[in-house]
A and B are shown apart, each in its own frame.
Chain A
Amino acid sequence: MKANRVLTVAERVLRQLAHDRRVLVYMLLIPGVAMILFGYSFSGDITGIRTAFIDEDNTDLTASILENLEKDDAFRVTVLPPGEDPEQLLLKGGYQAVIRIPDKFTSLYYAHFAMGVATTAQGTIDLCVDESDPQIASTVAMGLADAIMDLGEGGPVNIETRELYGVEVRFIDSFAPAIMGLVVSLVSTVLTVLSIVREKVDGTFSRVWVSPVRRSEFILGYVVAFGLIALVQSIVVLSIGKLVFDIVINGSIVWAFVSVILFAVGSVGLGTLLSALARTESQAIVSFPLVVLPSVLLSGMMWPIQAIPAVLRPLSYIVPLTYSNRLLRAVMVKGLAPWEEPVGLAGVLVFVVLTIVLASLVLRQSAQEAG
Chain B
Amino acid sequence: MADAAFEGRTLVKVFGELRAVGGITVAVQRGEIYGLVGPSGAGKTTLIRMLCGLTTPTSGEARLLGHLMPKERRAVEDRFGYMPQERAVYRDLSVGENLLFFGRIYGMSRPAVARRTRELLTLMRLADRAKQLSAHLSGGEKQRLSLACTLIHEPDALLLDEPTIGLDPALRLEFWDHFRTLAATGRTLLVSTHYVHEAERCGRVGLVQRGRLAAEGAPPDLKAWASTASGGPVSDMEDVFLILCRSEGGLR
User: Are B91 and A202 in touch, CB under 8 angstroms?
Assistant: yes
Query: Within 8 Å CB of B37, what residues of A?
Result: none
Q: Does chain B have a CB within 8 A of A158?
A: no
Decide: B97 and A9 in contact? CB cutoff 8 A: no
- CB pair B77–A371 under 8 Å, yes or no, is no
Which of B45, B53, B55, B84 touches A207 (beta carbons < 8 Å)? B84
What is the chain B residue whose CB lies nearest that of A7? B104
Contact B92 A371 (CB under 8 A): no
Q: Is the interface of A mostly helix, strand, loop or mixed?
A: helix
B102 within 8 A of A: yes
Flag whether B73 is at the interface (Cβ < 8 A). Answer: yes
Q: Which of B56, B90, B94, B102 contacts A211 (CB 8 A)?
A: B102
Residues of B within 8 A of A210 (CB): 52-54, 73, 77, 80, 82
Which residues of A have CB within 8 Å of B84? 203, 206-207, 371
Q: What is the count of residue pairs linking A and B with beta-carbon distances less than 8 angstroms?
A: 85
The interface size of chain A toward B, counting residues with CB under 8 Å, comes to: 27
- Report how many residues on chain B are interfacial, defined by Cβ distance under 8 Å: 34
Q: Are A208 and B54 in contact (CB-based, < 8 A)?
A: no
Question: Is A113 part of the contact surface with B, judged by Cβ < 8 Å?
Answer: no
Confirm or deny: A170 has a beta carbon within 8 angstroms of a beta carbon on chain B: no
Of B82, B94, B104, B133, which is within 8 A of A8 by CB? B104
Q: Which of A1-31 contact B (CB under 8 A)?
A: 2, 4-5, 8-9, 11-12, 15-16, 19-20
Task: Say whether A212 faces chain B, with CB atoms less than 8 Å apart.
Answer: yes
Q: Does A204 contact B (CB under 8 A)?
A: yes
A231 at the interface (CB under 8 A from B): no
Contacts of A336 in B (CB 8 A): none
B149 contacts the other chain (Cβ, under 8 Å)? yes
Does any Cβ of A come within 8 Å of B216's Cβ? no
Chain B, 75-105, CB within 8 A of any chain A CB = 77-78, 80, 82, 84-94, 97, 101-102, 104-105
B residues within 8 Å of A by Cβ? Answer: 45, 49, 52-56, 73-74, 77-78, 80, 82, 84-94, 97, 101-102, 104-107, 133, 149-150
**6 closest cross-chain pairs (CB), A and B:** A203-B88, A203-B86, A203-B84, A8-B104, A16-B92, A12-B101
Listed in ascending order, the chain A residues whose CB lies under 8 Å from chain B are 2, 4-5, 8-9, 11-12, 15-16, 19-20, 198, 202-204, 206-213, 367-368, 370-371
